[in-house]
Amino acid sequence: MIRSILLSLLSILYSSTCFGIESPVPLCAEPHWASPAESKQGVFHGDLVMECKVTPTKTRVILDDLKAGIIGKIHAESILYEKPSEEALRSSPSLKWDVSHRIQEDGGDVTIREEAEIQTNQKGQLVYQTHSKKVSASGMAGFLKSVNFLMVVDINDPASILINFRNEVKVERPWFAIDFIFAPIAQNICFDKMAKVKTRLLPWVVKLL
């Protein structure tokens, strides 16, 4: 029962970041916790990091296509409350959106209101991150409290592109679950879902570099 609830909750987290495109997978280190993944006082907090490297196939790698691809996904798949101006989209190195996503899962309907941001800099990096502002859910999915996602693409080294992911989630422990049982199940599912980022989101990113 507990595992079924967590599968419903944490699959929501990755549905907005998995684009479903199959392609060769770059070399990635094993995901690891940025801080201890624990269930304390009724809330599980997981902050998982994965570091990947890609060998460029182009003589010159630029980030323009990736930036445009992410912008296109945001506009096509989100309800937009606030968005950058056309001038900012053309020229600003820092772009922000206020958006929401509605997702239907076996455990219930979930609407995540979040801030999405894309930044590029002179160091050859693109940073894409989202921070949930409000999570509204029905059914078992109502235990999901917050979701934060970070992707950093670094093309500084012409011989190796670095792509780092960081995923932070907070889930309220169901009243009938015990912390020391709940935490290991949640940890394992976090690893399973990061594996999907590796096999589905990452190839989509690489394709646009």
Whether 194 and 167 have beta carbons less than 8 Å apart is answered as: yes
Q: Average pLDDT for residues 21-42, to the nearest whole number?
A: 79
Residue 104 has, within 13 A of its CA and on its CB side, a CA count of: 0
Q: How many residues appear in the chain?
A: 209
Tokens, residue 33: 């916790």
Q: How many domains does the chain have?
A: 1
pLDDT at 15 over 60: no
| Tens-place pLDDT, residues 138-172 | 766 677 788 899 999 999 887 889 999 999 989 88
- CA atoms of 132 and 145, how far apart (whole Å): 9
pTM: 0.83
CB neighbours of residue 175 within 10 Å: 7
CATH number at residue 28: 3.30.530
- Structural domain including 199 reads 2-207
